[in-house]
Every structure is written in C-alpha cells, then in structure tokens.
Amino acid sequence: MRETIRAINGLKKESLIEDYAIGGGIAAIFYIEPFLTYDLDVFVIPTQKEKEGSVILLTPIFDYFRNMGYSFKGEHIVIEGVPVQFIPADELEEEAVRNGKQIEYEGVETKVLPPEYLVAILLRAGRKKDIAKVESLLQQAKVNRKRLKDILRRYGLSDKLNNL
C-alpha cells in the first residue's frame, strides 16, 4: 500500500487536486481494530478549475492514473494492487480533509480523516454498518467529545448521536 499512497500523493504534486485524505473503512481502521474491507476511500478537494458549476470533474484524476497504466474496476482504480475510490468532498468532508491527521505509512506521508469527522460522516450515512463503526470509534478511539459535539451541531447531526 506504500506505493498506492505514493501514487495518490502524485495528484497533489501535479496540482490535479488541492488536497486529499483517506476516509471510510481504512481511516476507521487507523483508530480502531481491523475489520474486513475491500477498498480505499480517498476524499479529494478538487482544484477550483475542476469545479464547473454544480459539476465536479474527476476526469483529470482518472486520466492521470489511466496514463500511468492502472486498471479500472467499476468506480475503482486499482493502484498498485489496491482498489481506490476517489470521492469529491462535500462541505463536511472538505473541512475533514483540511483538518486531516498527518500520518506516515511505511515512511510515506499521507492524511487520514480525524476520528471526530469520521463519526460525523458515518452518522450522516446512518447505515447499520456505519453505526457499528461509530460505536467502535467511540469505544476504542480517542474522540474529542467537545470537538465532535461542535461538528455535529454545525452540520445538524446532533440528534443522530443522541439517538444511538
């Protein structure tokens, strides 16, 4: 996965995206015990020029990896043996990416979404498997409750946590 991350970092170096952070199951696994998952979710903040009105263009990302010879599997790009899904960040996710936790994977720098934002994103998704991850994060990770409450309040998600 080291080379996968290195390849994704290339997007930022080539100014094809403004920033990115790992989200989804793999970000959760950074904080909690491992579980079965098959893809690497990457939340991206596209550059201003890739935002055309209500349309966000991910084509430069896809073209970049296609030119590097990587294959596609559904919505995933298989980068160095790992299926990666690129998700353009909405408002909450963009804030999460900007506040991403800087980490290293086998010496390669990357960012993961902070646990408070992961909880918020998972609560918003609200499927059973998302709620199970929220419960694990609250039990096993160091979640700053004050920060979490603030995020949930600002994005109208407080009731979702209260109703758990």
Partner 1 sequence: MRRDKDIGIVIQGKRIITREDLFKAKERFHKEQAKLPFEEKIRIVVELQKIANNIRKPSERPGIVWDIDK
Task: Identify whether the C-beta of residue 108 lies closer than 8 Å to the C-beta of residue 2.
Answer: yes
Q: Which two tokens stand for residue 104?
A: 């290293």
11, 32, 45, 120: which one binds partner 1 (CB under 8 A): 32
Q: Hey, is 153 helix, strand or coil?
A: helix
Q: Which two tokens stand for residue 160?
A: 């979702």
* Chain residues 34-73 in contact with partner 1, contact rule CB under 8 A: 34-38, 73
Q: Residue 143 has what DSSP assignment?
A: -
* Chain residues 103-132 in contact with partner 1, contact rule CB under 8 A: 103, 105-106
Beta bridge partners of 45: 19
Q: How far is the CB of 90 from partner 1 (least distance, A)?
A: 26
Q: How far is the CB of 2 from partner 1 (least distance, A)?
A: 7
Q: How far is the CB of 54 from partner 1 (least distance, A)?
A: 33
Nearer to partner 1, 19 or 80 (CB): 80
87 binds partner 1 (CB under 8 A): no
Residue whose tokens read 């998600």: 157
82 binds partner 1 (CB under 8 A): yes
- As a whole number of angstroms, the distance between CA 71 and CA 54 comes to 28
Q: How far is the CB of 154 from partner 1 (least distance, A)?
A: 27
Query: In sequence order, what are the residues at sequence separation of 6 or more whose Cβ sits closer than 8 angstroms to the Cβ of residue 78?
Result: 70, 71, 72, 84
What are the residues binding partner 1 (CB under 8 A)? 1-4, 26, 29-38, 73, 78, 80-83, 103, 105-106, 136, 139-141
